[in-house]
């Protein structure tokens, strides 16, 4: 078992001093199917990703937005598309006490556009650049990298259209993957699915192609043939996938302008040295896209579980009652990014590591420990003590498990003599110092630059 798996399984079981009484027992309550706890070790990854994302977004002028966990169901039906998997079978939809239909948000683009219209953001200088880091909910079949609650970082650039912007959005995503140390293993695939008019013509051509071949289609794909034949291209049904290979191709139906637009995006990507592959069958699972669509996926694992994806959605704001407004955006799943980081053995520097552990013996020592811990923390030293544990041996075991570099020991003798012992845990040496010298001595050993201070005047 890897260290990660061990930590995740046993995180709160203190084997050793408490005994292994939890071993072999299945606790009566588990997380519901398809969702997971984020334990402290994994939170370090989330925090790390958020920091990188915030930094890159700030550099590019994006501001953070949060929308509610649920929206009126119609927001998604109208935009994501009535025939999509998300709307037909993956939404957590419920009625409130007044019978209004609400849905836990399965994705972030439609809510951000709803907010853009609701708050009159068309009055702001355009483009409006927004990003979010939030949980989303989809009732999908749980499997590796596919959860019913997952976190997504996404950003949307609303109010302007240009092929250079599409390239910029892809560049931002690419830089974030680079910062996270996973860009090398990811492949960018890109397609242009034309404007709404050419999509209609293409949809008709697809219908003509599949009519007469219905017996090879799954029931789901037959339904798609009526509602939105483009979705058949996304099918995971084996016979349909074979049929799809000879289906009419989008690029034969998109307009001259769309083709030129696409060529420009590709040219910018080459200029930026972002490797890509073109994929004619890439349509993405949401109906609001037009023109550029793209996805990043792990080459070794294939295109099934994309690590991030996005595209242009020029018609979405209008669908939500706004003026026709061009827009483009991108979203990536944090769980999939973290899995990729772990596969690539990316180490996350942790700020959570403690500096000092205080071990004490006897009532008087405990009385001295509490203000000492407080004083250490006030000076920027991350300190803790197992004040409820009586035996010093057990306290030291805990200090060992926290991998602290230093331990302060206060026993009855030290109380009597007004002293404390500082133990260097890496080499096991001990030094006795006067009690009022403990804090300066620890600061000296840790180093001023490693102290952990919150600076309230630092810009947020
Ligand atoms: P999406 O492709 O549905 O696009 O999701 C974006 C990313 O979220 C995926 O590439 C994947 O990493 C992650 N993801 C999706 N579903 C799951 C799941 N069940 N479990 C774990 N991770 C998942 C969108 O949602 C669009 N709103 C993206 C976008 C923003 N397009 C324009 N702007």
Q: If you write DSSP's letter for every residue of 153-220 in order, what string do you get?
A: EEEEEES---HHHHHHHHHHHHHHHHHTT-GGGEEEEEEE---HHHHHHHHHHHHHHHTT-GGGS-HH
In a domain, 350, yes or no: no
Query: Are residues 175 and 118 part of one domain?
Result: yes
Handedness of CA 206, 207, 209, 214 (dihedral sign): positive
Distance CA 313, CA 107 (A): 14
Nearest CA to ligand 1 atom 21: 146
pLDDT for position 17: 37
In a domain, 208, yes or no: no
In a domain, 215, yes or no: no
Distance CA 87, CA 230 (A): 16
pLDDT in tens, 370-394: 999 999 999 999 999 988 877 888 8
Distance CA 110, CA 302 (A): 28
Mutate to test the pocket of ligand 1, among 90, 331, 332, 341 (most ligand atoms within 8 A of CB): 331
Token pair 């403690």 in the structure block, residue: 354
Contact criterion met (CB below 8 Å) for 389 and 14: no
∠ CA 69-77-167, rounded to 5°: 80
Nearest CA to ligand 1 atom 2: 309
Domain at 63, CATH number: 3.30.930.10
In a domain, 443, yes or no: yes
Query: Are residues 364 and 336 part of one domain?
Result: no
pLDDT for position 413: 94
Low-confidence residues of the chain: pLDDT under 50:
1-20
Token pair 């942790």 in the structure block, residue: 350
Contact criterion met (CB below 8 Å) for 195 and 204: no
Query: Are residues 297 and 394 part of one domain?
Result: no
Half-sphere exposure of 195 (CA within 13 A, CB side): 10
Contact criterion met (CB below 8 Å) for 366 and 329: no
Domain closes at, from 287, 321, 343: 343
Atom of ligand 1 at shortest range from CA of 152: 8
Query: Are residues 383 and 274 part of one domain?
Result: no
Tokens of 362: 């006897």
Query: Are residues 313 and 167 part of one domain?
Result: yes
Residues with CB under 6 A from ligand 1: 107-109, 138, 140, 145-147, 150, 152, 154, 156, 285, 306-311, 329-333, 335-336
Query: Are residues 363 and 274 part of one domain?
Result: no
Query: Are residues 292 and 174 part of one domain?
Result: yes
Ligand 1 center to residue 152 CA distance, Å? 7
Tokens of 278: 């073109």
∠ CA 42-64-295, rounded to 5°: 65
Token pair 């990003």 in the structure block, residue: 131
The predicted model scores a pTM of: 0.85
Domain closes at, from 343, 373, 402: 343
User: Residue 158 burial (CB < 10 Å; 0-12/13-18/19+)?
Assistant: buried
In a domain, 201, yes or no: no
Handedness of CA 212, 216, 217, 219 (dihedral sign): positive
What are the DSSP calls for 236-267, one per residue?
Answer: --HHHHHHHHTSPPGGGTS-HHHHHHHHHHHH
Domain closes at, from 275, 310, 343: 343
pLDDT in tens, 8-23: 433 223 333 344 455 6
Contacts of 229 (CB under 8 A, 6+ apart): 203, 206, 207, 210
Helices then strands, counting H and E runs in the chain, come out as 16, 16
Query: Are residues 312 and 423 part of one domain?
Result: no
Domain that holds residue 364: 356-448
Contacts 24+ apart (CB under 8 A), 268-271: 268/163, 268/164, 268/166, 268/167, 269/167, 269/170, 269/188, 269/190
**How many domains does the chain fold into?**
2
Domain at 362, CATH number: 3.40.50.800
pLDDT for position 140: 94
Rg of the chain in Å (alpha carbons): 28
In a domain, 141, yes or no: yes
What are the DSSP calls for 304-347, one per residue?
Answer: SSEEEEEEE-TTHHHHTTS----EEEEEEEHHHHHHHHHHTTPP
Atom of ligand 1 at shortest range from CA of 138: 19
Distance CA 232, CA 271 (A): 34
Query: Are residues 114 and 69 part of one domain?
Result: yes
Ligand 1 center to residue 459 CA distance, Å? 31
Ligand 1 center to residue 172 CA distance, Å? 16
Closest of 15, 415, 374, 39 to residue 385, by C-alpha: 374
Tokens of 302: 């294939």
Query: Are residues 398 and 431 part of one domain?
Result: yes
Query: Are residues 109 and 176 part of one domain?
Result: yes
C-alpha dihedral over 90, 96, 99, 102, to 10 degrees?
-30
In a domain, 248, yes or no: no
Query: Are residues 112 and 48 part of one domain?
Result: yes
In a domain, 240, yes or no: no
H/E segment holding residue 104: strand 101-104
Q: Where are the alpha helices (DSSP H) in 81-134?
A: 85, 109-118
């Amino acid at each position: 078992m890897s260290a990660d798996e061990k930590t995740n399984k046993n995180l709160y079981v203190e084997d050793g001093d408490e005994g292994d009484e939890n071993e072999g027992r299945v606790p009566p309550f588990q997380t519901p199917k398809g969702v997971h706890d984020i334990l402290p070790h994994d939170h370090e990854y989330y925090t790390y990703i958020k920091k990188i994302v915030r930094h890159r977004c700030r550099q590019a002028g994006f501001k953070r937005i949060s929308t509610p966990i649920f929206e009126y169901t119609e927001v998604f039906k109208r935009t994501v598309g009535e025939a999509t998997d998300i709307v037909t079978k993956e939404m957590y939809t419920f009625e409130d006490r007044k019978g209004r239909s609400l849905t836990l948000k399965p994705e972030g683009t439609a809510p951000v556009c709803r907010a853009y219209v609701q708050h009159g953001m068309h009055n702001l200088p355009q483009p409006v650049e927004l990003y979010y880091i939030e949980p989303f909910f989809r009732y999908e079949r749980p499997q590796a990298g596919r959860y019913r609650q997952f976190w997504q970082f996404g950003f949307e650039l609303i109010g302007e259209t240009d092929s250079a912007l599409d390239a910029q959005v892809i560049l931002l995503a690419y830089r974030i993957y680079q910062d996270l140390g996973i860009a090398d293993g990811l492949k960018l695939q890109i397609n242009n699915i034309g404007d709404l008019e050419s999509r209609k013509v293409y949809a008709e051509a697809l219908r003509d192609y599949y009519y007469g071949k219905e017996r090879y289609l799954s029931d789901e794909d037959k339904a798609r043939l009526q509602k939105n034949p483009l979705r058949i291209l996304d099918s995971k049904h084996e016979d349909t996938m074979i049929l799809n290979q000879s289906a009419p191709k989008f690029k034969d139906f998109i307009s001259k302008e769309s083709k030129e637009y696409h060529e420009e995006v590709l040219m910018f990507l080459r200029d930026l040295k972002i490797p890509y592959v073109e994929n004619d069958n890439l349509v993405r699972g949401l109906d609001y896209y037009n023109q550029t669509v793209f996805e990043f996926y792990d080459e070794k694992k294939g295109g099934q579980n994309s690590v991030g994806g996005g595209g242009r959605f020029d018609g979405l704001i209008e669908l939500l009652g706004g003026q026709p407004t061009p827009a483009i955006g991108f979203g990536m799943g944090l769980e999939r990014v973290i899995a990729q980081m772990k596969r690539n053995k990316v180490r996350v520097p942790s700020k959570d590591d403690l500096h000092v552990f205080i071990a004490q013996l006897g009532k008087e020592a405990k009385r001295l420990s509490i203000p000492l811990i407080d004083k250490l923390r006030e000076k920027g030293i991350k300190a803790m003590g197992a004040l409820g544990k009586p035996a010093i041996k057990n306290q030291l075991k805990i200090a060992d498990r926290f991998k602290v570099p230093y331990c302060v020991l206060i026993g009855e003798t030290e109380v009597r003599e007004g002293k404390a012992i500082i133990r260097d845990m890496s080499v096991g040496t001990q030094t006795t110092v006067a009690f009022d010298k403990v804090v300066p001595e620890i600061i000296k050993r840790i180093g001023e630059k490693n102290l952990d201070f919150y600076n309230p005047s630092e810009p947020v």
